[in-house]
């Protein structure tokens, strides 16, 4: 079982690491997390990776009682893996959940910065695009897509965050119920954007801390053009819905209730 005291001032923290074919990375990342912040627990949410990541995670579990594995039946996207991990964390009574990629892009050595900032916030976004933040080893087109995507998100949604697509984050557990995370349908980067957008709309305290993002060195990317297109489409629709709601509000009429897809 975990250290009873958890992380000072925050309680029990669970770092959720979704994995699909991360056999080369899983031990490296869990070792780094455990060395960096020894009081946190780790949940590997594996989608039955054909390369045996789930089995490797089982071996780690057997040798370290801070590491747990959630075996899922098959590849079902990053968002679904996180939602299952969040539900697991709630069930086990954690106070804080952290999102972290398995490929080393999110440095466990910076985890304490996110957790320290969470003492005065409800959500902390690890941010590449503020002073002190950086991106290493990304080709120019990847950087332009990411920066351009974030500028578009700021314009379309009117939320101030510099890095709404990043996936290195910490949430107080209560936030996930407040933003009704179980109903989030987005996948890929949109999943991250939708969580930030819902937290922003609820008026929650969202802090951004600079992080150093490093492109994966081992294993294959699961990023695709469709993930980027999904983000563009969803953000555009959310932006239009938000402007419509503001306009109706000004006219003294209530927005029509109904589906909020996408």
Ligand X SMILES: Nc1nc2c(ncn2[C@@H]2O[C@H](COP(=O)(O)OP(=O)(O)OP(=O)(O)O)[C@@H](O)[C@H]2O)c(=O)[nH]1
The DSSP symbol for 76 reads -
| Structure tokens given for 139 | 């080709």
CB of 74 or CB of 203, closer to ligand X = 74
Binding letters toward Mg ion, positions 213-242, x by CB under 5 A: ---x--------------------------
CB of 24 or CB of 95, closer to ligand X = 24
Task: Decide: helix, strand or coil at residue 249.
Answer: helix
> Does 103 sit near Mg ion (CB under 5 A)?
yes
Nearest residue to ligand X, by Cβ distance, number only: 221
> DSSP string spanning 4-67?
TT-BTTTB-EEEEEEESS-TTTHHHHHHHHHHH-TT-EEEEEE---TTSHHHHHHHHHHH-TTE
Piece of the chain touching Mg ion by CB under 5 A; list 37-45, 66-74, 103-111, 158-166: 103-111
* Angle in degrees, CA 196, 39, 91, rounded to 5: 60
Query: Would you give the end-to-end CA distance of the chain in angstroms?
Result: 40
Residues in Cβ contact with 19 at an 8 Å cutoff, skipping those fewer than 6 apart: 25, 26, 44, 45, 46, 47, 49, 53, 54, 57, 102
Query: Pick from Mg ion, ligand X, none: which does 110 bind, CB < 5 to 8 A by kind?
Result: none
CB of 110 or CB of 215, closer to ligand X = 215
Query: Pick from ligand X, Mg ion, none: which does 223 bind, CB < 5 to 8 A by kind?
Result: ligand X
Closest distance to ligand X from the beta carbon of 136 (Å) = 11
Among 105, 127, 192, 231, binds Mg ion (CB under 5 A): 105
Query: Pick from ligand X, Mg ion, none: which does 212 bind, CB < 5 to 8 A by kind?
Result: none
Interface contacts to ligand X, rule CB under 6 A:
18-20, 22, 45-47, 75-78, 81, 101-103, 105, 215-216, 221-223
Number of residues that bind Mg ion (CB under 5 A): 4
Q: Are the C-beta atoms of residues 63 and 129 closer than 8 Å to each other?
A: no
Closest distance to ligand X from the beta carbon of 216 (Å) = 4
| Structure tokens given for 61 | 């579990």
85 by Cβ neighbours in 10 Å (0-12 / 13-18 / 19+) ranks as buried
Chain residues in the site for Mg ion (CB under 5 A): 101, 103, 105, 216
């Amino acid at each position: 079982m975990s250290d009873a005291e958890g992380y000072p001032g925050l309680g029990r923290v669970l770092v959720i690491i979704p994995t699909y074919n991360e056999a080369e990375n899983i031990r490296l990342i869990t070792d780094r997390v455990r060395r960096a912040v020894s009081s946190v627990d780790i949940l590997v949410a594996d989608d039955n990776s054909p390369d045996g990541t789930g089995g490797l995670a089982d071996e780690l579990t057997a040798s370290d009682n801070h590491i747990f594995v959630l075996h899922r039946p098959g590849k079902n996207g990053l968002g679904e893996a996180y939602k299952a991990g969040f539900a697991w964390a709630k069930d086990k009574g954690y106070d804080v959940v952290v999102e972290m990629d398995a490929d080393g892009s999110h440095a466990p050595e910076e985890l304490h910065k996110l957790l320290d900032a969470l003492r005065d916030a409800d959500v902390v976004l690890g941010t590449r695009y503020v002073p002190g933040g950086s991106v290493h080893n990304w080709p120019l087109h990847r950087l332009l897509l990411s920066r351009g995507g974030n500028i578009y998100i700021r314009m379309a949604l009117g939320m101030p965050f510099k890095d709404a697509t990043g996936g290195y984050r910490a949430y107080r557990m209560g936030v996930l119920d407040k933003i009704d995370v179980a109903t989030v349908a987005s996948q890929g980067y949109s999943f991250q954007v939708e969580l930030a957008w819902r937290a922003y709309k609820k008026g929650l305290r969202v802090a951004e801390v600079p992080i150093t993002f490093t492109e994966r060195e081992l294993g294959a990317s699961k990023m695709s053009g469709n993930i980027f297109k999904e983000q563009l489409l969803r953000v555009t629709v959310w932006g239009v819905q938000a402007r419509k709601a503001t306009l109706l509000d000004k006219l003294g009429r209530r927005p029509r209730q109904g589906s909020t897809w996408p």
